[in-house]
Structure 1
Amino acid sequence: MLPIDWIILAGTLIFIVVYGVWKTRGSKNVQDYIRGGNEARWWTVGLSVMATQASAITFLSTPGQAFHDGMGFVQFYFGLPIAMIIICMVFIPIYYRLEVYTAYEYLESRFDLKTRTLTAFLFLIQRGLAAGITIFAPAIILSAVLGWDLTTLNIIIGVLVTIYTVSGGTKAVNVTQKQQMAVIFSGMIIALILIIQYLPEEISFTKALEIAGASGKLDIIDFSFNLDNRYTFWSGLIGGTFLALSYFGTDQSQVQRYLSGKSVRQSQLGLIFNGLLKVPMQFFILLVGVMVFVFYQFNHSPLNFNPAATNAVSQSALAPEYEQLQRNLDRIQDQKQEMSIKYANAGNFSDGDRDSFKAEMLQLNEAEILARRQATELIASANSTVETNDKDYVFIHFILNNLPRGLIGLLLAVILSAAMSSTASELNALASTTMIDLYKRNTGEKTQEHYVRMSKWFTLAWGLIAIAVASIADLFDNLIQLVNIIGSIFYGNVLGIFLLAFFIKYVKSNAVFIAALITQSIILAIYFLTELPYLWLNLVGCLLVIGIAVLLQTFIPTITSKPETNE
Structure 2
Amino acid sequence: MQQTLDWIDWTVLVITLATIVGYGTWKTRGQKNAQDYIKGGNTTKWWTIGLSVMATQASAITFLSTTGQAFSDGMGFVQFYFGLPIAMVIICLVFIPLYHRLKVYTAYEFLENRFDLKTRSLTAILFLIQRGLAAGITIFAPAIILSVVLGWNIVTLNIVIGVLVIIYTVSGGTKAVTVTQKQQMFVIFAGMLAALFIIINLIPEEVSFTDAIDIAGATGRMEVLDFSFDLENRYTVWTGLIGGTFLMLSYFGTDQSQVQRYLSGKSMKEMQMGLLFNGLLKVPMQFFILLVGVMVFVFYQFNPSPLNFIDASTETVLNSQYGDQYKTLQDKQTALFSQKQELSIELAKNDNPDAKKKLFTLDSIEKTYRSESKFLIKKAVDPEYTSEYNILQKEVDNLKSKPKSEAYITKSTELSELYKEAAKDTQTNDRDYMFIRFILNHLPTGLIGLLLAVILSAAMSSTASEINALATITSIDLYGRNQKEDKDEDHMVKMTKWFTLGWGVIAIIIACFADLAENLIQLVNIIGSIFYGNVLGIFLLAFFFKYIKGNAVFIGALITQAIVVIGWWFDWMPYLWLNLFGCVVVIFVANMLQLLAPKKLPNEF
Shorter-chain TM-score above 0.5: yes
Q: Confirm or deny that 1:74 pairs with 2:78.
A: yes
How high is the TM-score relative to the length of structure 1?
Answer: 0.97
Counterpart residue number, 2:243? 239
1:350 corresponding residue in structure 2 = none
The offset of 1:562, in angstroms, is: 5.6
How far apart in 2 are the matches of 1:447 and 1:498?
30
Q: Equivalents in 2 of 1:559, 1:144: separation in Å?
A: 64
Quick check: 2:534–2:582 contact (8 Å CA) kept in 1?
A: yes
Alpha-carbon contact 1:510-1:560 (below 8 Å) kept: no
Give the residue type in structure 2 aligned to 1:367.
Answer: I
Secondary structure of the corresponding residue to residue 442 of structure 1: coil
Give the number of aligned pairs: 558
| Cα distance between partner residues in 2 of 1:133 and 1:306 | 20
Partners in 2 of 1:17 and 1:164 — Cα distance?
6
After superposition, what is the alpha-carbon deviation per residue over 1:186-216, rounded to whole angstroms, capped at 9, x for unaligned? 0000111111111111100000000000100
Q: Which residue of 1 aligns with 2:397?
A: none
1:230 is aligned with what amino acid?
R
Quote how far apart the aligned CAs of 1:141 are: 3.4
Please say which of residues 68-77 and 368-377 is displaced more in the overlay. Answer: 368-377
> Residues 103-125 of structure 1: CA distance to partner in whole angstroms, max 9, x if unpaired?
00000000000000000000000
Q: How much does 1:561 deviate?
A: 4.3
The 3-state SS of whatever aligns with 1:222 is coil
Contact 1:312–1:386 (Cα < 8 Å) also in 2: no
Residue identity opposite 1:553 in structure 2: Q
Partner residue in 2 for 1:486: 527
Instruction: Give the whole-Å Cα distance in 2 for the aligned partners of 1:158 and 1:526.
Output: 33
Give 1:421's aligned residue: 461
- Per the TM alignment, residue 531 of structure 1 is displaced from its structure 2 partner at its CA by 3.8
Preserved CA contact (<8 Å) 2:551 2:604: no
| 1:316-353: CA deviation from partner (whole Å, max 9, x where unpaired) | 23223222221221111111010111122224xxxxxx
Contact 1:92 1:264 in 2 (8 A): yes
1:264 pairs with 2:268:
yes
Alpha-carbon distance in structure 1 between the residues aligned to 2:227 and 2:49: 34
Report the Cα distance in structure 1 between the residues aligned to 2:604 and 2:140, rounded to whole angstroms. 47
Q: What's the counterpart of residue 6 of structure 1?
A: 10
User: How many angstroms does 1:275 deviate by?
Assistant: 0.2
1:531-550: per-residue Cα shift (whole Å, max 9, x none)? 41000000000000001111
Equivalent runs, 1:183-202 vs 2, <5 Å: 183-202=187-206
**Residue 374 of structure 2 is aligned to residue 376 of structure 1:** yes
User: Matched residues in 1 for 2:331 and 2:9: separation?
Assistant: 32
2:337 equivalent to 1:339 = no
Which of 446, 460, 464 lines up with 1:406 in the alignment?
446
Equivalents in 1 of 2:273, 2:152: separation in Å? 43
Distance 2:601 2:299 in 1: 64
Q: Contact 1:309–1:386 (CA<8 Å) still a contact in 2? A: no
Q: Distance in 2 between matches of 1:108 and 1:275?
A: 29
1:59 equivalent in alignment to 2:79: no
- Of 556, 566, 569, the residue aligned with 1:525 is 566
**2:540 counterpart letter in structure 1:** L
Matched, 1:163 2:167: yes
1:502 offset after TM fit, Å? Answer: 0.6
CA contact (8 A) 1:78 1:241 kept: yes
Residue 362 of structure 2 aligns to which amino acid in structure 1? L
Paired position in structure 2 for 1:351: none
Match of 1:102, SS state, is coil
Q: 1:145 to 1:10 in 2, by over 3 A?
A: farther
- The 3-state SS of whatever aligns with 2:225 is coil
| Residue 439 (1) aligns with residue 479 (2) | yes
Q: 2:106 aligns with which of 102, 105, 112?
A: 102
1:287 pairs with one of 279, 291, 294: 291
Q: What code does the residue aligned with 1:208 have? A: A
User: What's the counterpart of residue 208 of structure 2?
Assistant: 204
What SS class does the counterpart of residue 297 from structure 1 fall into? Answer: helix
1:361 correspondence with 2:336: no
Q: Describe how 1:268-347 pairs up with structure 2 within 5 A.
A: 268-347=272-351
Q: How far did residue 140 of structure 1 move?
A: 2.3
Q: Report the equivalent of 1:146.
A: 150
Residues of 2 paired with 1:165 and 1:558: CA distance? 50
Whether the aligned pair in 2 keeps the contact of 1:93 and 1:264 (CA below 8 Å) is yes
Is the Cα–Cα contact under 8 Å of residues 46 and 273 in structure 2 kept in the other structure? Answer: yes
Using the TM superposition, give the Cα deviation of residue 218 of structure 1 relative to its aligned residue in structure 2, in angstroms: 0.6
| Match of residue 124 from structure 2 | 120
Letter in 1 for 2:325: E
Contact kept in structure 1, 2:536 and 2:583, CA below 8 Å: yes
Residues 364/512 of structure 1: CA separation in 2 closer, same or farther (3 Å cut): same
Closer, same or farther in 2 for the Cα pair 1:512/1:329, shift >3 Å? same
1:37-52 superposed matches below 5 A: 37-52=41-56
Task: Tell me the SS of whatever aligns to 1:249.
Answer: helix
Structure 1 stretches lacking a partner, 5+ long: 348-353
Q: What is residue 224 of structure 1 aligned with on the other side?
A: 228
Alpha-carbon offset, residue 357 of structure 1: 1.1
Q: Distance in 1 between matches of 2:110 and 2:449?
A: 45
Q: Is the 8 A contact 2:202 2:299 kept in 1?
A: yes
Question: CA separation of 1:263/1:339 partners in 2, compared to 1, >3 Å: closer, same or farther?
Answer: same
What's the CA shift for 1:248? 0.1
* 8 Å CA contact 2:426, 2:515 repeated in 1: no
Match of 2:553 among 506, 512, 535: 512
Gaps of 5+ in 2: 383-424
Deviation sequence 1:258-309 (CA, Å, 0-9, x none): 0000000000000000000000000000000000010001111111112221
CA contact (8 A) 2:426 2:516 kept: no
Q: Do the aligned residues in 2 keep the contact of 1:308 with 1:386 (CA within 8 Å)?
A: no
Q: Secondary structure at the match of 1:387?
A: coil
| Pairing partner for 1:178 from 179, 182, 186 | 182
Partner of 1:253: 257
